[in-house]
């Protein structure tokens, strides 16, 4: 599927409105990456996939090759100006191998320093996650994204979610999000699947600090 950059994201239901980045298709022409392109800010901002879907996306320009990162899932980027961007797991591959250059507005958003303050987006994801009357798929869609806010409230919300039996299905996501926070987490008290996700993410970070 091909979507124009910055068009409204509609691929699947998500609690926040997002804009598309890098959903490339036939209208894109691959080229060598520009020598002055610096992929480091993008790489640093693309640590963890927000949602991993069933099914694989294969790079249209690398037939027969296994796409790095498995090719499925999405990265979500939370800009300080309130915008949210959604990109396919292959975004880095497109940039580093096929010379795709994301819109300047998106690249600039990645360069804004400092932690995100708790805002409406965080509140929406947190409220939804803890609301037992909401649909479980929608409640769990933004779990990993919540770790974008390095905030004590994120820790509090995720620990509550970890002990909610209705959210067992997303235990690994909750553990992953907890591991992304710069806090001491009482890992020994976590349910088994949450602990598994937590340990897996901390191990990954240890291997790629």
Q: Which residue among 6, 37, 58, 61 contacts Zn ion (CB under 5 A)? A: 61
Q: Which is nearer to Zn ion, 23 or 149 (CB)?
A: 23
102-161 residues in contact with Zn ion (CB under 5 A) are: none
Which residues are registered as beta bridge partners of 175?
none
Q: Which of 45, 59, 143, 155 binds Zn ion (CB under 5 A)?
A: 59
Asked if 187 is part of the footprint of Zn ion (rule: CB under 5 A), the reply reads no
130 is written with which tokens?
Answer: 């803890």
Nearer to Zn ion, 66 or 127 (CB): 66
Q: Are 7 and 106 in contact (CB under 8 A)?
A: no
Write each residue from 62 to 101 as x if it is in contact with Zn ion (CB under 5 A), else as -, in one continuous string: x---------------------------------------
CB under 8 Å to 108, separation ≥6 — which residues? Answer: none
Q: What angle do helix axes 192-207 and 171-179 make, rounded to 10 degrees?
A: 40
Helix (H) or strand (E) holding 87: strand 84-88
Judged by CB, which is closer to Zn ion: 62, or 187? 62
* Residue 12 beta carbon to Zn ion: minimum distance, rounded to whole angstroms: 24
Task: Measure the CA–CA gap between 76 and 84, rounded to whole angstroms.
Answer: 7
Token pair, residue 152, equals 């004590």
The number of beta carbons lying within 10 Å of the beta carbon of residue 98 is 19
Smallest distance from Zn ion to CB 60, Å: 7
The least CB distance from residue 46 to Zn ion, in Å, is 16
Q: Which residues bind Zn ion (CB under 5 A)?
A: 59, 61-62
């Amino acid at each position: 599927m091909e979507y124009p950059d910055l068009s409204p994201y509609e691929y699947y239901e998500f609690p926040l409105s997002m804009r598309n980045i890098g959903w490339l298709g036939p209208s894109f022409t691959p080229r060598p990456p520009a020598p002055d392109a610096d992929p480091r800010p993008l790489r640093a901002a693309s640590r963890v996939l927000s949602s991993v879907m069933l099914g694989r996306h294969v790079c249209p320009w690398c037939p027969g090759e296994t796409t790095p990162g498995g090719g499925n899932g999405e990265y979500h980027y939370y800009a300080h100006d309130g915008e949210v961007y959604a990109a396919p797991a292959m975004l880095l591959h497109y940039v580093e191998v096929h010379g795709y250059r994301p819109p300047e507005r998106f690249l600039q958003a990645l360069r804004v320093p400092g932690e995100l303050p708790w805002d409406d987006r965080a509140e929406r994801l947190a409220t939804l996650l803890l609301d037992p009357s909401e649909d479980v798929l929608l409640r769990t869609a933004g779990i990993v994204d919540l770790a974008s806010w390095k905030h004590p409230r994120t820790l509090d919300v995720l620990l509550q979610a970890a002990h909610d039996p209705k959210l067992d299905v997303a235990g690994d996501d909750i553990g992953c999000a907890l591991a992304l926070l710069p806090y001491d987490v009482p890992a020994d008290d976590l349910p088994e699947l949450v602990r598994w996700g937590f340990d897996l993410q901390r191990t990954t970070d240890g291997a790629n600090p």
